[in-house]
């Protein structure tokens, strides 16, 4: 798996932004998560030391909230709704097709750190089932035969936004 370069000075800048105040450890962790798409151990250790917060407490927070990840996440999030309406209309087949296309298991990240594939309980648009969210794009009435087209469309959108160089 590709490795993200952890830059201690960026972590320290985040800690300084919150004045090393233990009351803001969650905010520091959110900023680190935004920067690295996960919470690197090195960052948690620096936050722990600077705020005098027990490292175990930071790990408790990191594992309690679903928004945090201790494992590297992809640049792009792909969420397949697995709620009742989507499930009934074939979300499992869509998830399987995406997993094959990306060569990654649901809940995991591709080795190049480009995509994280996950099932979610509900995306709140049941009438459009089955639904796939790729970053901030929603794809409706997706079936397994559409996965390649949906991936290409998302990559084209990212290129048009200037968010991808070689999607």
CATH value at residue 102: 3.40.30.10
Average pLDDT over residues 47-70: 95
123 falls within a domain? yes
**Distance from first CA to last CA of the chain, Å, rounded?**
18
Question: What's the predicted TM-score (pTM) here?
Answer: 0.77
Distance, CA of 113 to CA of 108 (rounded, Å): 10
Instruction: Name the residue range of residue 16's domain.
Output: 8-64
> Any bridge partners for residue 134, and if so which?
78, 137
The predicted-structure confidence for 76-120, as pLDDT tens digits, reads as follows: 999 999 999 999 999 999 999 999 999 999 999 999 999 999 999
69 falls within a domain? no
**Closest of 73, 87, 102, 104 to residue 2, by C-alpha:** 73
Which 3 state secondary structure label does DSSP give 109?
strand
Please say if the pLDDT value at position 123 is more than 80. yes
* Full DSSP string of 19-62: TT-GGGHHHHHHHHHHHHSS--HHHHHHHHHHHT--HHHHHHHH
Please say if the pLDDT value at position 56 is more than 80. yes
Structure tokens at 23: 């009351």
User: Which residue's structure tokens are 């591709």?
Assistant: 110
| H or E element at residue 11 | helix 8-17
22 and 58 in a single domain? The answer is yes
Please say if the pLDDT value at position 165 is more than 50. no
Q: Which of 28-32, 33-37, 150-154, 159-163 has the lowest mean pLDDT?
A: 159-163
- Residue 37, Ramachandran bin (φ over 0: left; ψ between -120 and 50: alpha; else beta): left
Average pLDDT over residues 35-42: 94
Average pLDDT over residues 21-46: 96
Of 156 and 4, the structure prediction assigns the larger pLDDT to 156
User: Which residue's structure tokens are 């035969």?
Assistant: 145
Distance, CA of 128 to CA of 35 (rounded, Å): 33
The predicted-structure confidence for 125-155, as pLDDT tens digits, reads as follows: 999 999 999 998 999 999 999 999 999 988 8
87 falls within a domain? yes
Average pLDDT of the residues of the chain = 92
Residue 163 has what pLDDT?
A: 66
Is residue 6 very low, low, confident or very high in pLDDT (cuts 50, 70, 90)?
A: confident
60 and 16 in a single domain? The answer is yes
């Amino acid at each position: 798996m590709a490795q993200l370069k952890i830059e201690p000075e960026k972590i320290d800048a985040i800690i300084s932004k919150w004045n090393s105040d233990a009351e803001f450890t969650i905010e520091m962790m959110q900023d680190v998560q935004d920067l690295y798409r996960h919470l690197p151990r090195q960052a948690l250790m620096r936050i722990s030391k600077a705020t005098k917060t027990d490292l175990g407490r930071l790990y408790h927070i990191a594992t309690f909230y679903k928004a945090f990840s201790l494992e590297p996440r992809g640049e792009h999030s792909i969420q397949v709704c697995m709620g009742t309406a989507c499930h009934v209309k074939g979300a499992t087949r869509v998830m399987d097709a995406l997993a094959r296309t990306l060569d990654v298991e649901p809940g995991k990240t591709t080795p190049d750190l480009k995509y994280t594939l996950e099932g979610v309980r509900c995306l709140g648009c049941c009438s459009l089932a089955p639904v796939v969210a790729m970053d901030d794009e929603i794809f409706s009435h997706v079936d397994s035969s559409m996965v390649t087209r949906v991936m290409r469309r998302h990559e084209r959108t990212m290129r048009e936004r200037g968010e991808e160089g070689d999607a």
